A and B are shown apart, each in its own frame.
Chain A
């Protein structure tokens, strides 16, 4: 077991900067998810840790060893590829035993360790089969078994679930989480699927254009995105964003948010924290489930018009128009709404996320 440290890592392909000055510490035993859209550099970052790419700048540490110049085979890592890369010409047993064989582990021990890992993953019945005789889920388990049989300090996984059917994916996802608790090796997991990231990660590192935008635990990444990109990338539906402005009223010291043609008074703590940003154009973010919908516009509720109603089974997804801006709102199925109806919106201003309109960066941590 060991921590992984990336210090100012760069990787450039021709004119494209795949990884830009990434510094990241992954703690011993942690499950860290690298999340981002395709082309953001997450897989390249993983391959730099694996040693499959030589870094163009910076250093990579595993434990207290500087592994920057070491080949993959000497870094004490296990890796699961997106394609699984299970050798088609070897039986499952020989696939799992491959790494041990390369390290010239005695035969009896190989048999014992392969048997153990196969039992741990529930594939001991498949040891004599060839990969072509396995289902996708079984092949994926063989790939995992082959990686962990060497008891590596670090386990690297590159989109290991993306080739599985939706149903099996759910099941394997839970198994991976259990497996990580069981073997406890430091794990780096690459995915573009934000649900996977939220469900698996102890922490999530969100990447964009080769840079890490935010590293936090799943709740923080979800509730307090560091910028508009993270808020828009994570969550289904993504966070709502409205252009707005912070103004200081005449009477009390509290601030008012002007957005979507309305004025929303902010509570004391928020007002104090945002005081220095008065007068600045902001982008306000709010999650779909943090907005309460009243059947009628009443009292201080914001009036809105229902545009679309999409039943999602457990919830209804509403598309609303508020002062010319579109909002996605998640409500319980028992709410009686239909398109064109006027409704009222209420929300806790503390759930609002304030971002600078120009840079997109969050104004508050």
Chain B
């Protein structure tokens, strides 16, 4: 009586995990699913809706550029907002890059307590931008910390008004200082990580070959840091064009910026079209800069380590 045995393997039920999730090759996709859902729900859908609204006639639903031309005609603050947003971005981003690079190089010397120093520098990362704006409002206000300090030191006799719509340059400066304080740390963290990836053999090799400090920075460190610089610049530039809460806290709408215009049109004027047009403009600017960075700071395949 010979019976053919089924192999033991085949008789055993598949593990629960496999039955629920499919084969192991599908697992990565299951793990990606939550973040993909999140992005679709809160970014892709609102974004496409905004694009649709921006390019549609609100009455007829026809595709049109009318919203853009109307905005140019009616919103007298569009051009100032564009100007100030650009000026803030081109002032803040390079300033942050230089500061972050200097501090990153300092941290990378691994001096005693450099890790602690890095953590302290990174504290503003944990603050919301509105909170950061309010902190600096507390410093720059007429009866704020700065005036109190100067008064206590006997440098002034009465409070100096820093934040006033009559001095838009001062408002601009205050925003630059606050943003610089708030958002440089993200660049710093990216650059420190990048510096730590550069083998010290390259630097010692350059040193033996007679390169001084500056030459090592210029010819070895900066080129090898390019991927990190690229990442940091993309992140910072995109966020710089979205600047909002710090400006609101320090300058209200006396210093108009693009995101503030979108907010104003949406909440105070209930104009979904103009708000969407602003959103599309911010998106377009961010895209253009990202592409520029990707092209000009790219590391070609053959240059990789």
Give bound CA distance, A72 to B305, whole Å: 25
B303 at the interface (CB under 8 A from A): yes
Q: Are B208 and A52 in contact (CB under 8 A)?
A: yes
Please name 10 pairs of A and B residues whose Cβ atoms are closer than 8 Å in the assembled complex, sorted by A: A78-B208, A81-B205, A83-B201, A87-B205, A88-B303, A88-B305, A89-B223, A89-B303, A99-B210, A102-B210
Nearest CB on A from B193, distance (A): 18
User: Which B residues touch A71, using CB under 8 A?
Assistant: 207
B204 at the interface (CB under 8 A from A): yes
Q: A85-B202, A88-B224 are in contact. Are A77 and B208 (CB under 8 A)?
A: yes
A364 at the interface (CB under 8 A from B): no
Give bound CA distance, A78 to B304, whole Å: 25
Nearest CB on B from A20, distance (A): 23
Q: Which residue from A73, A85, A130, A133 sits with its C-beta under 8 Å from B210?
A: A73
Q: How many residues of A contact B (CB 8 A)?
A: 27
B212 at the interface (CB under 8 A from A): yes
Q: Which of B186-220 contact A (CB under 8 A)?
A: 199, 201-202, 204-212, 215, 219-220
Q: Which residue from B199, B211, B304, B305 sits with its C-beta under 8 Å from A102?
A: B211
Q: Lowest 8 CB-CB distances: which A-B pairs, in order?
A: A99-B209, A85-B201, A73-B210, A85-B205, A130-B302, A102-B210, A89-B223, A72-B208
Q: Are B209 and A102 in contact (CB under 8 A)?
A: yes
Of A52, A74, A82, the most chain B CB neighbours within 10 A belong to: A52
Q: Are B207 and A73 in contact (CB under 8 A)?
A: yes
With both beta carbons as reference points, the residue of chain A lying nearest to B209 in the complex is identified as A99
Q: Are A132 and B305 in contact (CB under 8 A)?
A: yes
With both beta carbons as reference points, the residue of chain B lying nearest to A98 in the complex is identified as B209
Nearest CB on B from A191, distance (A): 17
Q: Are B199 and A85 in contact (CB under 8 A)?
A: yes
With both beta carbons as reference points, the residue of chain B lying nearest to A149 in the complex is identified as B209
With both beta carbons as reference points, the residue of chain A lying nearest to B302 in the complex is identified as A130
Q: Are A98 and B208 in contact (CB under 8 A)?
A: no
User: Which B residues touch A89, using CB under 8 A?
Assistant: 223-224, 226, 299, 303
A79 at the interface (CB under 8 A from B): yes
A-B residue pair count with CB separations less than 8 angstroms: 73
Nearest CB on A from B278, distance (A): 40
User: Which A residues touch B299, using CB under 8 A?
Assistant: 89
A50 at the interface (CB under 8 A from B): yes
Q: A52-B204, A72-B207, A89-B223 are in contact. List 5 more A-B contacts (CB 8 A).
A: A79-B205, A87-B202, A88-B224, A102-B215, A130-B303
Q: Which of B218-277 contact A (CB under 8 A)?
A: 219-220, 223-224, 226
Q: Which residue from A52, A82, A85, A98 sits with its C-beta under 8 Å from B219?
A: A98
Give bound CA distance, A132 to B223, whole Å: 15
Q: A98-B209, A99-B209 are in contact. Are A81 and B302 (CB under 8 A)?
A: no
* Residue-wise interface mask of A (81-99) relative to B, using a CB-CB cutoff of 8 A (1 in contact, 0 not): 1110101110000000011
With both beta carbons as reference points, the residue of chain A lying nearest to B300 in the complex is identified as A130
Q: How many residues of B contact A (CB 8 A)?
A: 25
With both beta carbons as reference points, the residue of chain B lying nearest to A83 in the complex is identified as B201
Of B202, B208, B302, B304, the most chain A CB neighbours within 10 A belong to: B208
Of B205, B300, B305, the most chain A CB neighbours within 10 A belong to: B205
User: Which A residues touch B208, using CB under 8 A?
Assistant: 50-52, 72-73, 77-79
Give bound CA distance, A98 to B304, whole Å: 19
A146 at the interface (CB under 8 A from B): yes
Give bound CA distance, A129 to B223, whole Å: 17
Give bound CA distance, A110 to B245, whole Å: 56
Nearest CB on A from B9, distance (A): 41
Q: Are A98 and B206 in contact (CB under 8 A)?
A: yes
Give bound CA distance, A81 to B224, whole Å: 18
Give bound CA distance, A89 to B225, whole Å: 10
User: Which B residues touch A79, using CB under 8 A?
Assistant: 205, 208
Nearest CB on B from A253, distance (A): 60
Give bound CA distance, A88 to B299, whole Å: 10
Of A71, A87, A132, A133, the most chain B CB neighbours within 10 A belong to: A87
* Residue-wise interface mask of A (53-80) relative to B, using a CB-CB cutoff of 8 A (1 in contact, 0 not): 0000000000000000001111001110
Q: Are A150 and B302 in contact (CB under 8 A)?
A: no
Q: Are A133 and B302 in contact (CB under 8 A)?
A: yes
Give bound CA distance, A130 to B299, whole Å: 12
User: Which B residues touch A81, using CB under 8 A?
Assistant: 201, 204-205
A250 at the interface (CB under 8 A from B): no
User: Which B residues touch A150, using CB under 8 A?
Assistant: 209-210
Nearest CB on B from A354, distance (A): 44
Q: Are B202 and A132 in contact (CB under 8 A)?
A: no
A103 at the interface (CB under 8 A from B): yes
